[in-house]
Amino acid sequence: MAERRVTVQAEVGLHARPAATFVQTAAKAGIDVTLAKVGGQPVNAKSILSVLALDVRQGENVVISAEGDGAEELVETLAAIASAP
Amino acid sequence: MPDTAALPLDPRAVLLDAVAADRDDAIRQCGRALLNVGAIEEPYIETMIERERSLSTYVGEEVAIPHGTVLGKDTVHHDAICVVRFPAGVDWDGNRVTVCVGIAAKGDGHVRLLSELAQILLAPDRARALRESADTAGVLRLLQPIGEDSEE
């Protein structure tokens, strides 16, 4: 299991373009990947609805998790997107 | 999960049987529905089109959620949503859309609205009800659930 915890830096939070880029990147992966607020229920990181419903705002911490081939690179890439200002 | 508060939906902004020539026409019809209930001024509508060109608001389940850009915020009088259904479908950059939920919001109010709407659409039975509800009252019940008070 690969896991990264990052702070969301974008002013809009994980909404709008950051959310779209995040989900599009996750959806290209051939393995399952989840997104959660720290201590919260993980949701499917490939679903724009799930990510929007999670309602992550600027400054909140999230955990990205994946398992399987390429999981390390995937969570690394997604962590970079989620933490980009 | 955050609590789901009632969404600001005026019954006059629910159109169950609209026809659109294309995506931009569908967005303009949403804009006019928001205009008709006094939520926005007309210039907001063009910012909805601009927003869509820069980033699609298609969210799956045959639903798109057109809304304006930051530049349009000054032309919003109060937060509101509209529901405009296109039973024949509208081609949305390769996706089929049968329901548009147009959003007008001041400040970052649209973020809360989008998040609450997303929570509703995540339940497949509720998403289907939004597409198929036979009357306006059904749509209002779906988006303004009675007895689910927000704690905010």
- Nearest residue, CB atoms, B59 vs list A41, A49, A55: A49
Select from B2, B55, B121 the Cβ nearest to the Cβ of A17: B55
Whole-number pLDDT of residue B144? 78
Spatial distance between the Cα atoms of B60 and B46, rounded to a whole number of angstroms: 23
Token pair 């690179």 in the structure block, residue: A73
- Between residues B144 and B148, which one has the greater pLDDT? B144
Q: Which residues of B touch A47 (CB under 8 A)?
A: 60, 122
Bridge partners (DSSP) listed for residue A43: A35
Q: What is the mean pLDDT of residues B92-104?
A: 96
Q: Does B17 score more than 50 pLDDT?
A: yes
Partner residue opposite A49 with nearest CB, options B56, B112, B121: B121
Predicted pLDDT at B148: 47
- Per-residue pLDDT of A22-73, as tens digits, reads 999 999 999 999 999 999 999 999 999 999 999 999 999 999 999 999 999 9
Contact of A27 with chain B, judged by CB distance below 8 Å, is answered with: no
Q: Determine whether the interchain pair A52/B114 forms a contact, defined as Cβ–Cβ distance below 8 Å.
A: yes
Q: Which residues contact B61 (CB under 8 A, 6 or more apart)?
A: A49, B121, B124, B127, B131
Residue B147 has a pLDDT of 47
CB contact under 8 A, B61 and A53: no
User: How large is the ipTM?
Assistant: 0.76
- Other CB atoms within a 10 A radius of the CB of residue A63 amount to 18
At residue B151, does pLDDT exceed 50? Answer: no
Alpha-carbon dihedral sign for residues B7, B100, B2, A77: negative
Quick one: pLDDT at residue B5? Answer: 61
For the record, the structure tokens of A13 come out as 């939070």
**Positive or negative torsion for Cα A76, A82, B2, B4:** negative
Residue in A17, A41, A52 closest to B115 by CB: A52
Comparing B35 with B124, which gets the higher pLDDT?
Answer: B35
CB contact under 8 A, A20 and B122: no
Q: What is the pLDDT of residue B69?
A: 85
User: A38: helix, coil or strand?
Assistant: coil
Give the structural domain span for A32: 2-82
A1 in contact with B at a CB cutoff of 8 Å?
A: no
B78 is catalytic: no
CATH code, A26: 3.30.1340.10
What is the tens place of the pLDDT at every residue in B52-68?
999 999 998 899 999 99
- Tell me the nearest-neighbour CA distance from A59 into chain B, angstroms: 15
A84 in contact with B at a CB cutoff of 8 Å?
no
**Which strands make up the sheet holding A61-66, listed edge to edge?**
A2-7, A61-66, A33-37, A43-44
| Range in A12-16, B57-61, B107-111 with the lowest mean pLDDT | B107-111
**Structural domain count, chain A:** 1
Can you tell me the distance from the alpha carbon of B152 to that of B87, in angstroms, rounded to the nearest whole number?
36
Task: Compute the distance between CA of residue B17 and CA of residue B117 in angstroms, rounded to an integer.
Answer: 21
Which residues on adjacent β-strands are paired with residue A37? A62
CB contact under 8 A, B122 and A49: yes
Q: Given an 8 Å threshold on Cβ–Cβ distance, is B119 in contact with A53?
A: yes
Residue type, B130: L
Q: What percent of chain B has pLDDT over 90?
A: 68
Q: What kind of fold does domain B3-140 have according to CATH?
A: Mannitol-specific EII; Chain A (3.40.930)
User: Phi first, then psi: what are they for B121, rounded to 5°?
Assistant: -70, -20
As given in the structure block, the two tokens for residue B7 are: 């969404």
Element (H, E) at B36: helix B23-36
CB A43, CB A35: distance < 8 Å: yes
Residues A48 and B63: their CA atoms lie apart, in Å, by 12
Asked whether the beta carbons of residue B2 and residue A49 sit closer than 8 angstroms, the reply is: no
